[in-house]
Structure 1
Amino acid sequence: MAQLYLIRHGQASFGSQNYDQLSELGTQQSRQLGKWWAERDFSVHRIVTGALHRHQQTALACMSALLDCEEDKLDTTGWHTDAGFNEYHHHEVLVKHVPEFEDPAVVKHFLKSKPDAGREFQDIFSAAITRWMSGQFDTDYTETWHAFQNRCIAAFQKQLALNDGAKNIAVFTSGGTISAICQHLLHLPDSKFSELNWTLVNSGVTRIHVQPERDGQAQRLALAYLNNFSHLEVLNDPKCITYV
């Protein structure tokens, strides 16, 4: 039986001009996952990343800690890159709902201007997601909600179809992608997507059991655990647990 691990990227640079870049904490979170795995003699047999910079940075930091080597010494020639695991265009989704948030400085000011700004921003973003998912404004978006869903599921199924004998498959990706795949596996309605997505911790791990076809039976999948961040909890520092 193979195990497929979906890893959310470490904390990115929210509120900056370039979100697609790990923060210093994001790198630390990723390395902490690699150390956690190393302490448990965990081996990764196939490494997959989305095409975004934060996915690849997370994989490099994690695997260098797992293998106890410098990032520039890692042999990445066998790694797979699949843009199917990329996040949805979250900035576009937000800006189509609140155009003034086009400027990251405006977002940063909003988050600093109110005592409960984080909750208010979450409500605004949820409304933006609802607009995107409604299907009524599909021409406004580079990628529709259903196109995003189908892309994520296709990338996931492509990894399941590979027959290279890999027992532990690590996919470094984003929260929205993980939520879409889990929504598919659990047959959840679209309304649960945002609720699930908001709970996913940076560098958190979701594990899926993959039982191969045999005796005429189709391949079976089971969600073993969702959003495990024990590697961060052992640090006993709430500031290490982030969601952006």
Structure 2
Amino acid sequence: MSFVTLVRHGQANSSAREEESYDQLSPLGWQQSEWLGGYFRQSGERFARVYTGTLRRHIETAEGIAPDCAEKPIRDERLNEMTYFYLAMALERQHGIPMPQDREQFIAHMPVLLEHWQGNRIDNPGETFADFETRVRAVLTEIAAGEGRALVVTSGGLIGMAMRIVMRLDVPAMAHACLAIENSSLHRIQPLSTGLALTQFNAIPHLDTPERQHARSHL
């Protein structure tokens, strides 16, 4: 068993209101990813395995990081994000709850969306909350059981679900975890005989200097 380092992708197209146009790194997202790669190299961090989802923003973030690893990244669709925009549009259409237009609205919207989704109150969600939880648990368990340190580039919602699984969070607490997760942040999980344990959450050592404070982002 080995440590698993989860990385949220760099800033994507935050002005988008649907999945396809959101799924690409912004210039800031590329810079965040490259700085993270520089931090790994400076600290001597090497990975035996690298995984990404199949989304463009995951693949581009991994390219920006350019981690020190002999093997090519493994692309696994189980590491893809929940379909937030699809769910938000369904929530608006079915329940009259409008899609958020800024971060403050997004903060209020996320727990409402997750509670409706978990409670099966969104018809035809594409993927149920229970199925999302099952696939995240399965892929994390599988990666954690492998040999050597693993780097996993994924999305905030999946990392939030990982926190729910590891820390046994209820849905409101999971929503708050999701909202806290910054672009290109680090989260580390250690396998123990009793299960997976959280050892680091939402770290941004590559941005934690005065001259890079401007590069911190959530959306």
Whether TM exceeds 0.5 here: the answer is yes
Q: 1:240 aligns with which of 211, 215, 218?
A: 215
Deviant stretches of 4+, over 4 Å: none
Q: Secondary structure at the match of 2:22?
A: coil
C-alpha separation in 2, matches of 1:128 and 1:190: 10
- How far residue 90 of structure 1 moved from its aligned partner, in angstroms, is 0.4
Question: 1:29-55: CA deviations, max 9, x gaps?
Answer: 011101011111111110000111111
Partner deviation per Cα, 1:11-34 (whole Å, 9 max, x = no partner):
010223610000000010011101
Amino acid corresponding to residue 76 of structure 2 in structure 1: D
Does 2:82 correspond to 1:97? Answer: no
Q: Which residue of 2 aligns with 1:11?
A: 11
| Structure whose CA Rg is larger | 1
Counterpart for residue 2 of structure 2: 2
In the alignment, the residues of structure 2 paired with residue 141 and residue 176 of structure 1 have an alpha-carbon distance, to the nearest angstrom, of 15
Determine which of 73, 88, 94 is the counterpart of 1:79. 73
The offset of 1:2, in angstroms, is 2.3
2:62 counterpart (47, 59, 70): 59
**Aligned residue-pair number:** 213
- CA, structure 1 residues 51+235, in 2 after alignment: closer, same or farther (shift >3 Å)? farther
Change (3 A) 1:148 1:201: same
1:156 matched to 2:140? The reply is yes
Match of 1:88 among 75, 82, 90: 82
> For the residues of structure 1 that align with 2:195 and 2:112, how far apart are their CA atoms?
35
Amino acid at match of 1:19: Y
Q: Distance in 2 between matches of 1:235 and 1:145?
A: 39
For residues 5 and 196 of structure 2, what CA distance do their matches in structure 1 show?
A: 12
**Gaps (5+ residues) in structure 1?**
68-73, 100-105, 112-116, 212-217
Change (3 A) 1:191 1:126: closer
- Is the contact made by 1:29 and 1:240 (CA closer than 8 Å) also made in structure 2? yes
Unaligned runs of 5+ in 2: none
What letter corresponds to residue 98 of structure 1 in structure 2?
A: E
| Root mean square deviation of aligned Cα | 2.4
Any idea what the Cα deviations from partners look like across 1:117-137, whole Å, max 9, x if unmatched?
431233134322322222233
1:79/1:134 Cα in 2 relative to 1: closer, same or farther (>3 Å)? Answer: same
Kept after mapping to 2: 8 A contact 1:204/1:228: yes
Distance 2:103 2:72 in 1: 40
TM-score for the superposition, normalised by structure 2? 0.88
Residue correspondence of structure 1 range 1-244 to structure 2 within 5 A: 2-16=2-16, 18-63=21-66, 66=67, 78-99=72-93, 111=101, 117-137=102-122, 139-162=123-146, 165-166=147-148, 168-211=149-192, 218=193, 220-244=195-219
Give the TM-score taking structure 1 as reference length: 0.79
1-structure distance, mates of 2:32, 2:143:
25
Distance 2:117 2:197 in 1: 29
Deviation at 1:80, TM superposition (A): 1.0
**Letter paired with 1:24:** P
Report % sequence identity: 26
- The one-letter amino acid of 1:156's match is L
